C-alpha cells in the first residue's frame, strides 16, 4: 500500500485523536472517517480537522505504523458502531418524521428518522442501513430474514 508523502503518527490525547508530523509543527486534532463509509470500508480513510477540511487521505490502514493503526482502528470502530436490527416492534410516521421501536443486538431502541430517501439506504437488494436523527446507524443485514410483522412495520416508514 502506498504511504502518505509526509511521515506522521496518530496519537490519542484525552478524548481525541491528534496527528503529529515528523517534520515538526503543532499536533493537530483530527477526526477519522471512511472515505466511502457504506460501500468502501477498509479502503481510503480521510483525516479531517475541526472545520471538516481534509488534512490527509490514507489509502488504507495498512500504511500506518502499529500504534497509529491501533488508534485509527479504535476511533473508526467507535465512530461507525452499527447496531443490527433483529426485529421491528413498531413503526409510524407523524408530520414527516418516522419513528421506529426496534430490537437490536444491544437491546431495545427507539429512534426517529427524517427523510427516508436520504437516511434509509439500501446497500443491496436485501441489506438496509438506517440513520436516525442523531446520526446513529442501524443495519438490517437481511430484510428477507426479518419476521413478516417486522417487514410490514419497516415498510410503513421507509
4: closest CA among 35, 51, 45? 45
pLDDT in tens, 26-62: 899 999 988 876 555 667 899 999 999 999 999 989 9
Which pLDDT belongs to residue 4?
A: 62
Which pLDDT belongs to residue 14?
A: 87
Q: Which stretches of the chain drop beneath a pLDDT of 70?
A: 1-5, 37-42
Total Cβ atoms within 10 A of residue 124: 9
Q: What is the DSSP letter of 61?
A: G
Q: Which domains does the chain have, with CATH numbers?
A: 8-79 (no CATH), 82-157 (2.40.50)
Which pLDDT belongs to residue 42?
A: 66
141: closest CA among 80, 82, 73? 82
Which pLDDT belongs to residue 1?
A: 44
Which pLDDT belongs to residue 38?
A: 59
Nearest-10 Cα torsion for 59, 60, 66, 67: 90
Using the CB atoms, write b or e for 29-39: b if 16+ within 10 Å: ebebbbeeeee
Decide: 68 and 17 in contact? Cβ < 8 Å: no
For 85, the 3-state DSSP assignment is: strand
Which regions of the chain does DSSP assign to beta strands (E)?
8-13, 16-21, 28-34, 45-48, 54-58, 82-94, 97-104, 107-114, 120-122, 128-131, 137-140
Q: Give the position of cell 427524517.
A: 114
Amino acid at each position: 500500500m502506498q504511504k502518505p508523502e509526509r511521515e506522521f503518527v496518530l496519537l490519542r490525547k484525552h478524548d481525541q485523536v491528534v496527528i503529529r508530523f515528523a517534520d515538526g509543527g503543532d499536533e493537530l486534532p483530527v477526526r477519522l472517517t471512511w472515505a466511502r463509509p457504506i460501500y468502501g470500508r477498509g479502503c481510503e480513510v480521510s483525516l479531517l480537522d475541526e472545520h471538516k477540511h481534509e488534512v490527509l487521505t490514507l489509502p488504507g490502514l495498512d500504511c500506518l505504523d502499529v500504534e497509529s493503526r491501533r488508534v485509527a482502528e479504535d476511533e473508526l470502530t467507535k465512530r461507525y458502531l452499527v447496531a443490527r436490527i433483529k426485529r421491528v416492534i413498531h413503526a409510524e410516521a407523524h408530520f414527516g418524521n418516522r419513528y421506529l421501536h426496534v430490537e437490536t443486538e444491544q437491546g431495545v431502541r427507539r429512534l426517529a428518522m427524517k427523510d427516508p430517501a436520504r437516511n434509509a439506504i439500501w446497500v443491496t437488494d436485501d441489506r438496509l442501513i438506517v440513520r436516525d436523527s442523531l446520526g446513529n446507524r442501524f443495519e438490517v443485514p437481511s430484510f428477507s430474514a426479518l419476521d413478516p410483522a417486522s417487514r410490514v412495520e419497516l415498510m410503513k416508514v421507509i
